């Protein structure tokens, strides 16, 4: 007999609180891509890393497969989020983020400098 639990309790992943989300525009503040601005394509909360368009691009050698001819492909590799800052289009630079509650109770991220709201539309 299979015992059925009423609630599925999954252990919560040890998530790091990230100041970045998918589709954010960010600036790289250290490393070989310093100063580059790109869009966050993917975040890895547990690893504290993110993939940013055009940043930390690595060349990968692909073996030919029946589906592709192989060769070298360029792909952005994950970069640690401590190397990234949110890009503020008003300040035209990487900025620190502050949190703010709107009248409807929702929490948004704003630019600490100019108050621009960053919340990306889902």
Q: Which residues bind Zn ion (CB under 5 A)?
A: 88, 90-91, 111, 113-114, 116
**Residue among 40 and 95 whose Cβ is closer to Zn ion:** 95
**Residue among 41 and 110 whose Cβ is closer to Zn ion:** 110
**Residue among 60 and 100 whose Cβ is closer to Zn ion:** 100
Question: Which residue from 38, 33, 36, 6 is spatially nearest to 22, judged by alpha carbons?
Answer: 38
Q: Let me know how many helices (H) and strands (E) the chain has, helices first.
A: 0, 10
Q: Least distance to Zn ion from the beta carbon of 115, Å? A: 7
Q: Least distance to Zn ion from the beta carbon of 23, Å? A: 18
How far CA 111 is from CA of 14, 67, 97, in Å, comes to: 27, 46, 5
Measured in whole angstroms, how far is the alpha carbon of residue 8 from the centre of its chain? 29
Q: Least distance to Zn ion from the beta carbon of 99, Å? A: 15
């Amino acid at each position: 007999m299979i015992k059925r639990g009423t609630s599925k309790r999954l252990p919560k992943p040890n998530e790091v609180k990230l100041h970045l989300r998918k589709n954010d525009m960010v600036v790289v503040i250290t490393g070989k891509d310093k100063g580059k601005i790109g869009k966050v394509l993917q975040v890895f909360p547990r690893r504290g890393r993110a993939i940013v368009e055009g940043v930390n691009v690595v060349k990968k050698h692909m073996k030919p497969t029946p589906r592709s001819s192989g060769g070298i492909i360029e792909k952005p590799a994950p970069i640690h989020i401590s190397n990234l800052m949110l890009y503020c289009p008003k300040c035209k630079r990487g900025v620190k983020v502050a949190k703010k509650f709107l009248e409807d109770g929702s929490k948004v991220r704003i630019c600490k400098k100019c108050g621009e709201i960053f919340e990306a539309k889902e």
